[in-house]
């Protein structure tokens, strides 16, 4: 039961970051939570009891949004959550460790999560987190593919190096922070990682050190999806500098076999790289997300 | 981390990265972590490649849990940026059961050479 004197926000029945219609409802829900808890400092209760469907991406973003709000306000109790009533979702909340991840707390809670079985983690130090992340992958897949571990390490480095650069409004507790979730479903190994940085498109727009990008960036309307696709080309780096810009190849390498996918959402752009496609599928979404969301879905038999 | 290098009778040094440095090498510099590419290059590669008594430097990449581009580019492409000569870098012999890593490292070195040549003023 929610405590008294809290703003109660009721979640939509479907929390999803993939389906465009549900995505709007989902991110409007998150934004309202941000308005109430972070901007207005209102003690807020998220009522998820009527949620009937919740995708993995939405679960990760919920974890990220709640814990980011807790840290930004330095008020661990600022947000409380009622889990979905639907038994399959209620069980999954507990089994995956999402319940523990959503508990009241701030940085210490996120640090302690690394010592638990929760599939939801958050970190700021890639070198410290990559070994336990490999162990999490091994829990889900006896021999996790090395290219995936490498890709995750590069994504973590990207977050600490790029994501929050030039993002003046970021709270120090959030700087360089990512949130991650790993699970297996339908013989697919899925790894999701997200941050609240500037985002790939905005970061590219702010960066003028890439000579090849000049014609692209000066076009009057350059959509986010195109900028993500540009960023995923070999040799493109938001930092500039010789030898940089190789990480996009690392990101794609785990998804080079049929049925494997790499999904990136940033701003309102969506980039889907599938091994079977000649070119990545690009889409403009109806909602612009903060930061970046990345998901690898890899067939387990490999 | 063991930095002492054994030179065999044929003047060949072998660096087993996973054992002598880390199975989890990562990133370019200290900001990215303890076992980064700059440190590996400076502690292991440059001392052996610039030693005139050493004719070949085997770098064994087998057993690594991570083979990220940031570490590999900084380690090997960085040799060119650091100013080593072609003869010194040619002493490198990469040992790995992954052919793609050899191609990748070769590409980093060749790209770094192109960049270095572009930066040098034309000779009269």
Is B16 a domain residue? Answer: yes
Give the predicted TM-score (pTM) of the model: 0.89
Lowest mean pLDDT among A177-186, B1-10, B47-56: B1-10
Is a pLDDT exceeding 90 seen at residue B9? Answer: no
Is a pLDDT exceeding 90 seen at residue A234? Answer: no
Is a pLDDT exceeding 70 seen at residue B52? Answer: yes
B34 vs A211: CA distance, rounded Å: 32
Domain end, chosen from A83, A100, A117, is at A117
Identify the CATH number of the domain in which residue A292 sits. Answer: 3.30.565.10
Number of domains in chain B: 1
A99 and A130 belong to one structural domain: no
Is A244 within 8 Å of chain B by CB?
Answer: yes
Cα–Cα distances (Å) from B41 to A256, A271, A292, B22, in that order, read 30, 35, 32, 13
Is B82 a domain residue? Answer: yes
Is a pLDDT exceeding 80 seen at residue A216? Answer: no
A120-123 and A79-82 strand pairing: unpaired
Domain containing residue A188: 124-302
Q: Which chain B residues have a beta carbon less than 8 Å from that of A157?
A: 26-27, 32, 68, 70
Lowest mean pLDDT among A48-57, A85-94, B4-13: B4-13
What's the DSSP call for residue A2?
P
pLDDT of residue B121: 65
Is B7 a domain residue? Answer: no
Is a pLDDT exceeding 50 seen at residue B95? Answer: yes
A269 and A287 belong to one structural domain: yes
Q: From start to end of B9-117, where are the E strands?
A: 12-16, 56-60, 92-95
pLDDT of residue B124: 41
A105 and A131 belong to one structural domain: no
Is B113 a domain residue? Answer: yes
pLDDT of residue A151: 95
Band of residue A173 on the pLDDT scale cut at 50, 70, 90: confident
Is B67 a domain residue? Answer: yes
Contact A270, A225 (CB under 8 A): yes
A133 and A272 belong to one structural domain: yes
What's the DSSP call for residue A133?
H
A89 and A13 belong to one structural domain: yes
Percent of chain A with pLDDT over 70: 87
Q: Which chain A residues have a beta carbon less than 8 Å from that of B66?
A: 130, 146, 149-150, 153
Domain end, chosen from A117, A149, A174, is at A117
Cα–Cα distances (Å) from A215 to A169, A211, A230, in that order, read 29, 9, 12
Number of domains in chain A: 2
A243 and A111 belong to one structural domain: no
Best of B24, B63, B68 to disrupt the A interface (most A CBs within 10 Å) is: B68
Average pLDDT, chain A: 88
Is a pLDDT exceeding 50 seen at residue B123? Answer: no
Is B4 a domain residue? Answer: no
Domain end, chosen from A67, A89, A117, is at A117
Lowest mean pLDDT among A103-117, A163-177, B86-100: A163-177
| ipTM over 0.90 threshold | no
Is the model more confident about A158 or about A269? A269
Q: Which chain B residues have a beta carbon less than 8 Å from that of A175?
A: none
Domain containing residue B55: 12-118
């Amino acid at each position: 039961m929610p405590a008294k004197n809290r703003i109660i926000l009721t979640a939509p029945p479907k929390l999803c970051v993939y389906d465009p219609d549900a995505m709007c409802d989902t991110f409007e829900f998150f934004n309202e939570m941000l308005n109430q808890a972070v901007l207005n400092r209102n003690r807020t209760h998220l009522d998820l009891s009527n949620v009937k469907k919740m995708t993995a991406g939405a679960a990760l973003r919920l974890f990220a949004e709640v814990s980011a709000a807790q840290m930004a306000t330095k008020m661990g109790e600022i947000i409380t959550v009622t889990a979905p009533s639907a038994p399959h979702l209620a069980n999954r909340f507990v089994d995956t460790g999402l319940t523990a991840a959503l508990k009241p707390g701030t940085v210490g809670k996120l640090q302690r999560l690394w010592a638990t079985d929760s599939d939801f983690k958050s970190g700021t130090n890639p070198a410290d987190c990559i070994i336990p992340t490999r162990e999490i992958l091994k829990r889900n897949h006896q021999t996790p593919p090395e290219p995936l571990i490498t890709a995750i390490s590069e994504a973590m480095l990207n977050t600490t190096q790029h994501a929050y650069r030039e993002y003046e409004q970021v709270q120090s507790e959030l700087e360089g922070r990512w949130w991650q979730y790993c699970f297996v479903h339908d013989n697919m190994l899925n790894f999701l990682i997200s941050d609240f940085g500037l985002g790939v498109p905005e970061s590219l727009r702010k960066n003028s050190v890439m000579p090849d990008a000049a014609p692209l960036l000066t076009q009057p309307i350059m959509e986010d999806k195109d900028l993500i696709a540009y960023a995923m080309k070999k040799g493109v780096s938001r930092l500039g500098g010789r030898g940089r810009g190789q990480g996009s190849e690392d990101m794609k390498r785990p998804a080079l076999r049929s049925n494997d996918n790499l999904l990136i959402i940033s701003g309102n752009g969506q980039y889907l790289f599938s091994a079977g496609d000649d070119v990545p599928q690009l889409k403009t979404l109806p909602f612009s997300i903060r930061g970046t969301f990345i998901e690898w879905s890899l067939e387990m038999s490999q | 981390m063991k930095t002492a290098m054994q030179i065999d009778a044929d003047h060949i040094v072998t660096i087993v990265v996973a054992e002598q440095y880390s199975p989890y090498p990562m990133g370019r510099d200290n900001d990215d972590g303890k076992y980064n590419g700059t440190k590996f290059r400076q502690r292991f590669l440059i001392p052996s490649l610039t030693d005139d008594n050493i004719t070949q430097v085997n770098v064994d990449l087998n057993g690594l849990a991570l083979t990220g581009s940031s570490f590999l580019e900084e380690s090997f492409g960085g040799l060119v940026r650091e100013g080593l000569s072609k003869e010194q870098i040619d002493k490198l012999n990469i040992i790995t059961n992954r052919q793609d890593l050899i191609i990748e490292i070769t590409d980093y070195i060749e790209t770094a050479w192109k960049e270095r040549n572009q930066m040098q003023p034309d000779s009269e």
